Amino acid sequence: MEKKTNQTIFSIFTLLLLFSSCVSAQLRTGFYQNSCPNVESIVRNAVRQKFQQTFVTAPATLRLFFHDCFVRGCDASIMIASPSERDHPDDMSLAGDGFDTVVKAKQAVDRDPRCRNKVSCADILALATREVVVLTGGPSYPVELGRRDGRLSTKASVQNNLPQPGFNLNQLNAMFNRHGLSQTDMIALSGAHTLGFAHCGKFSNRIYNFSPRTRIDPSLNSGYALQLRQMCPQRVDPRIAINMDPTSPRTFDNAYFKNLQQGKGLFTSDQVLFTDQRSRATVNSFANSETAFRQAFISAITKLGRVGVMTGNAGEIRRDCSRVN
C-alpha cells in the first residue's frame, strides 16, 4: 500500500514539474513575429515618449511589473480597475505613471491594424519594464512573450503576497522561493531599488522609534539617519517621498549595493541583505562588479516574468487593460 502511495505522489510531482516547464516553454522571444512583428519597437517608442514626460515612468513601471507577478502571476491583473488588487494598501502606493505607461503602449500597439487585440497587457507590461531599465542605463535583455491576461483581480489576493519593508532574510527568501526565485534572484531584484522612492511612513520606525533602548536602528548609517530625519520630520505629510538610492537615484546601476555596505539601505529589508552573513557575499559581489549585478538581474527578471503565467487559450487578450473583456 505504501509503495502504491509513493508511486502516486511521485506521478503527481512529475506531472506538476512537466506542467510548470511547459508553461514557461510556451513563452518565447519572437512570439508575435507573425501577428505583430513590430510590437517591440512600438512599445519602445511609446515608453520613451512617456519617460520624456516624467522620470517616474521608470520606477513606477518596474514596481508595477513586480507587484503584478507576485500576485496571481504575470497576468496584468494589477491593471484591472477597482474593485481589484489596486484597493489593497500594498498597491495603493503604486504610482499612476506606471499604469499610464502600459495604457499608452497598448493604445500604440492597437493602432497598428495587424496588432489590434492581439498583444496582451501582460506582455506589454513585461516589454515596458525592459524599456525603462534600458532608459535609465540598465541592461537590455530578450523578453519572453506569450502571456495571456487574467480575468480575476481581488483585494484579498494581495494579502501576504508582497514583501514588506520590515522583512528579515528568512521572510524574503520564503516569499521569493514560493515563486521559484533563489536568494541570488531576490538580491538582484532588490537592486531595482536603485531607482524610485518611498514614503516616509514606510521607514519612520527606523529613525524615530526602533526599540525602547535605541530610537535609531543601529544597522542604519548614523549620518544617513540624521539626513532622513531632516527630510522626514515627525508628523510629516505622509505623501512626502524619499529616494531609495541617495547617490544615483535616476540611474540603474549597482550603487544600491554600495549603499548597503555603508549602512544606507532605506528599508530593513534592504539593509538586512548586508547585515545577514548569509547574503552579504552576494551584496559585496554586486557592489564590486556592475557586470555581475547586470547578469544576475537579467536572469532574475526573466524568471520573474515566468511566474504563474497563463498561455495558449487560458485567460484572454484584454481590449482595455483596465477591465476584462
The CATH number of the domain holding residue 116 is: 1.10.520.10
| Residue 13 predicted with pLDDT over 50 | no
Is 246 domain-assigned?
yes
Looking at residue 315, the DSSP 8-state letter turns out to be S
Does the residue 217 lie in any domain?
yes
Last residue of a domain, one of 158, 185, 212: 158
Instruction: Answer yes or no: are the C-beta atoms of 217 and 206 closer than 8 Å.
Output: yes
Assess whether pLDDT exceeds 80 at residue 325. yes
> What is residue 239's predicted lDDT score, i.e. its pLDDT?
77
Residue range 146-157: mean pLDDT, rounded: 97
Per-residue pLDDT at 297? 98
| Same domain flag for 144 and 180 | no
pLDDT digits (tens, 9 = 90+) for 47-56: 999 999 999 9
Q: Has residue 164 got a pLDDT over 90?
A: yes
Alpha helices in the chain (DSSP H): 2-26, 39-53, 57-70, 89-92, 96-110, 121-135, 169-177, 183-190, 204-208, 222-231, 255-261, 268-275, 277-288, 290-304
| Residue 95 belongs to a domain | yes
Average pLDDT of span 253-265: 98
Predicted local confidence at residue 189, as pLDDT: 98
Residue 25 pLDDT exceeds 60: no
Q: Is the pLDDT of residue 284 over 50?
A: yes
Query: How many whole angstroms separate alpha carbon 255 and alpha carbon 246?
Result: 9
**Domain annotation covers residue 7:** no
For residues 203-229, give the mean pLDDT.
95
Q: What is the pLDDT of residue 21?
A: 41
Whether the pLDDT of residue 20 is over 50: the answer is no
pLDDT at 195: 97
- pLDDT at residue 11 above 70? no
What pLDDT, on a 0 to 100 scale, did the predictor assign at position 192?
98
Residue 322 in any domain: the answer is no
- Predicted local distance difference test score (pLDDT) of residue 218: 96
Whether the predicted pLDDT of 19 surpasses 80 = no
- Mark whether 122 and 186 lie in a shared domain: no
Contact 286, 188 (CB under 8 A): yes
My answer on whether 235 and 150 are in the same domain is: no
Examine residue 112 and state whether it is found in any structural domain, yes or no.
Answer: yes
User: What is the CA 52 to chain-centroid distance, rounded?
Assistant: 22
Mean pLDDT of the chain: 93
The residue out of 158, 183, 206 marking a domain boundary is 158
Q: Which residues contact 107 (CB under 8 A, 6 or more apart)?
A: 46
Give a yes or no: residue 53 inside a domain: yes
The pLDDT value given to residue 15: 44
Say if residue 173 is in the same domain as residue 152.
Answer: no
> Around Cβ 252, how many Cβ atoms within 10 Å?
26
pTM, to two decimals:
0.92
Q: What is the mean pLDDT of residues 233-247?
A: 90
Q: Say if residue 290 is in the same domain as residue 188.
A: yes
pLDDT at 7: 54
In a domain, 110, yes or no: yes
List residues bridging with 243 in a β-sheet. 197
Same domain, 143 and 177: no
Domain residue limits at 185 = 169-304
Share of the chain above pLDDT 90, in %: 89
Q: Would the pLDDT of 12 be above 50?
A: no
C-alpha cell at 159: 494579502
- Provide the 8-state DSSP code for 151: S
**R_g of the chain, CA atoms, integer Å:** 21
**C-alpha–C-alpha distance, residues 127 and 145, integer Å:** 9
Which positions make up the binding site for heme b? 193
Position 237 scores a pLDDT of 86
**CATH value at residue 188:** 1.10.420.10
Percent of the chain's residues with pLDDT above 70: 92
> Is 67 known to be catalytic?
yes
Do 263 and 139 lie in one domain? The reply is: no
| Confidence class for position 1, pLDDT limits 50, 70, 90 | low
Residue of 67, 88, 179, 199 marked catalytic: 67
Binding residues, as ranges, are 68, 71, 73, 75, 77, 85, 163, 193-194, 245, 253
Residue 184: which pLDDT band, with cuts at 50, 70 and 90?
very high
Q: Annotated binding residues for substrate, as ranges?
A: 163
Compare 195 and 23 and report the one with higher pLDDT: 195
> Buried b / exposed e across 197-226, counting CB within 10 Å, b at 16+?
bbbbebbbebbbebeeeeebbeebbeebbe
Mean pLDDT over 303-308 rounds to 98
Same-domain pairing of 144 and 222: no
pLDDT tier for residue 145 given thresholds of 50, 70 and 90? very high
Q: What angle do CA 136, 281, 279 make, to 5 degrees?
A: 85
Our count of domains for the chain comes to 2
> Where is the domain boundary, 158, 189, 221?
158
- Same domain assignment for residues 125 and 188: no
Q: Strand, helix or coil at 236?
A: coil
Q: What SS3 state is found at 323?
A: strand
Average pLDDT on 239-256 reads 95
